[in-house]
A and B are shown apart, each in its own frame.
Chain A
């Protein structure tokens, strides 16, 4: 897996045989901006809406792109804001070194028991 958002976007773009300007047109951003993002020179990483379009065009996982961009998905942000117990639950998971993947497995197990 690539280390940065830019490397990841460029790698997938070339794997999917999309040109720089071609992809910029599809995502409705300027080629200059896309080039800056790909070389990790852009101070402002793409907004969620732009990342969604990039993910759609490249067939990428939006959560992974959001993570690489250092952004929290707006729906997750809302979930945390709406439920005061949610930050505590996340802190507890962090304190117990429970990974996101393990949390997913716990939820799946809980679903299966129902």
Chain B
């Protein structure tokens, strides 16, 4: 589905607003692990179902899907015991819900004027799928929701100090064993310190990179 272009700061603002409303309504302080199931089910009152989505939709590799008209998010039963993957998928669907539902709903109203409403999910999210803009936006939303910048920075600073971790070769050799090992160690430390128990190491690695807390060393300026 074609969606409106969103800048990362727009996605950041959408996450911040959702978290602010959730914390305000429930009178709680923001802390990790961010209770994404509570946000979906209790705050937004979206129905959550665990299903064999491959069987239900007849498509392989489906992780989650959102049915806006029926108010349902369904997660594939195969990932329910993989905490990081399950919570990221659920947060990704939350991303569709917050970022894309208004547009889909508006289009649906237009479509139903000319024909019956579709029973098909608005978004089907698969592992093998090339990242369409809507999927990229939902991923960005999920990362920011599960790992709010402030909480990640606090956990990082508590254990790694005020300076970013610089890894030689980080820009071009991310999959090399030496780079990956160091990157993974930092992610593990931040997960443990910040109690990000519903986040995978991989997701935290990318978040640390996005926040420039792990990066390539900046070459010193040549003074002429």
Contacts and interface: CB of A to CB of B under 8 A. Distances in A.
A91 B159 CA distance: 74
B50 A31 contact: yes
A20 B51 contact: no
B88 to A, nearest CB: 15
B42 A20 contact: no
Interface majority SS on B: helix, strand, loop or mixed? mixed
Contacts, number: 32
Contacts of B45: 14
B77 A20 contact: no
A39 B77 CA distance: 14
Interface in B7-64: 37-38, 41-42, 45, 47-51
Would you call the interface of chain A mostly helix, strand, loop, or mixed? Answer: helix
Nearest to A19: B37
B80 interface: yes
B40 to A, nearest CB: 9
Nearest to B52: A32
Contact of B37 (A22, A30, A34): A22
A9 B212 CA distance: 46
A81 interface: no
A4 interface: no
Nearest to B48: A20
A94 interface: no
Contacts of A39: 49
A32 B38 contact: no
A32 B37 CA distance: 15
9 contacts: A19-B48, A20-B48, A32-B51, A32-B77, A32-B80, A34-B50, A35-B48, A35-B49, A35-B50
